[in-house]
Amino acid sequence: MNETTAQRPAENKMGVMPINRLLITMSLPMIISMLVQALYNIVDSMFVAQLSENALTAVSLAFPVQSLMIAVGSGTGVGINALLSKSLGEKNFDLADKTAENGIFLAVLSYLLFAVIGVLFSKPFFLLQTTDPEIVENGAIYLMLCCVCSFGMFLQFTFERLLQSTGRTFYTMITQGLGAIINIILDPIMIFGLLGFPKLGVAGAALATVIGQIVASILALLFNIKKNEEITLRLKGFRPNAKVIGKIYSVGIPSIIMASIGSVMTFGMNKILISFTSTATAVFGVYFKLQSFVFMPIFGLNNGMVPIISYNYGARKPDRMMKTIKLSILYATCIMIIGVAIFMLIPDKLAFYFLTLRKRCSRSACPRCAPSASALFLQASASACSPCANPWGTVCSASLSPWCVSW
């Protein structure tokens, strides 16, 4: 971000490029980066699964709070994105700058809120779900680290939204990709104590995640400083602007609520499943992270779509807005159909890599494991338990016992 606003681009590509090409150009980097994000979440679970079933269950039980943090960060980011792109379309650069500055302020407030939650409520949150001391201890440590060090995540969300708002989605792909790669590299080192590092177990998984987020946020800030010419930050003497914050949250709060519904649902499902066995909860957590391979590309498409619509709304170009919406719905529908087909056709292959990490069968094609894993995974994905007609519609202990000889 430059020191002055003297030189601003006359017209952003979001107002002139053909819509189909523009949508693909802006969405594809985001889709790739979201897929990498989904990959490192899955790699996290695969490494943690090698510690113990209880370790994987602890991470799975923490997922609702992590989802809530993501909902707050991404929802606020949607509000920032929409207002900033609209302001640029209207050529109101002063409002665009204020939106960016107040967005950073909101990211800091969000971090402080979840840091307090992490310190005070991590252990009580796990005690609400289980009394297993190992799960509670591992989960509380994992969740507290994720919350207390979440400043990297919230700032990463904000700085990346500033880049997306001006059409520079390629740089957000780089920041998210780097963060994911760092996490994947550090996971085994910190979890298992490789290369001279102490063996940290579940805490190592949390530290690897937050370090990746912090590095990504720093890189995103540098990209904004060096590459984002349409926004100028003046944090010196900054004061919050209630009107701008209100406009951000007028779009952001509905997005936060919608994204939070999944977090509440996951918490409820974990409460039900843990009453049967911790295995059920672990499997549900694995399913949810594998499912992200389907909905993360949709998020990437959405992140590319929002600034285009907002910019053209500000520029009074309704035809470009409607074409963007129609193409986005078409692409999203195609992605979802492919995702459903994969989950229905090869659930055993999706789940098998997590199953083989446990202390069970050493054979790669165990005739007892693969079919049972497939059935369990389908039950998790469909939330239905036909073997015992369980009225809760969840996985029951009777269907878990054949998973393999011993855990």
Tokens 């100028």: give the residue: 232
**4 and 234 Cβ atoms separated by less than 8 Å:** no
Q: Which residue from 135, 32, 38, 55 is spatially nearest to 350, judged by alpha carbons?
A: 38
Write down the pLDDT at residue 368: 43
Q: How far apart are CA 110 and CA 9, in angstroms?
A: 32
Alpha helices in 275-368 (DSSP H): 278-314, 318-345, 347-355
Rounded to whole angstroms, the Cα distance separating 114 from 351 reads 32
Residue ranges of the chain with per-residue pLDDT less than 70: 1-12, 37, 40-41, 351-407
Q: What confidence score (pLDDT) does residue 220 get?
A: 93
Can you give the pLDDT at residue 154? 94
Give the model's pLDDT for residue 9.
Answer: 55
Residue 48's pLDDT is: 86
Which CA distances in Å does 302 have to 99, 217, 220, 297, 299? 20, 21, 20, 9, 5
Residue in 65, 70, 61 with CA at minimum distance from that of residue 138? 61
CB 381 within 8 A of CB 285: no
Residues 6+ apart with CB under 8 A from 256: 71, 72, 75, 76
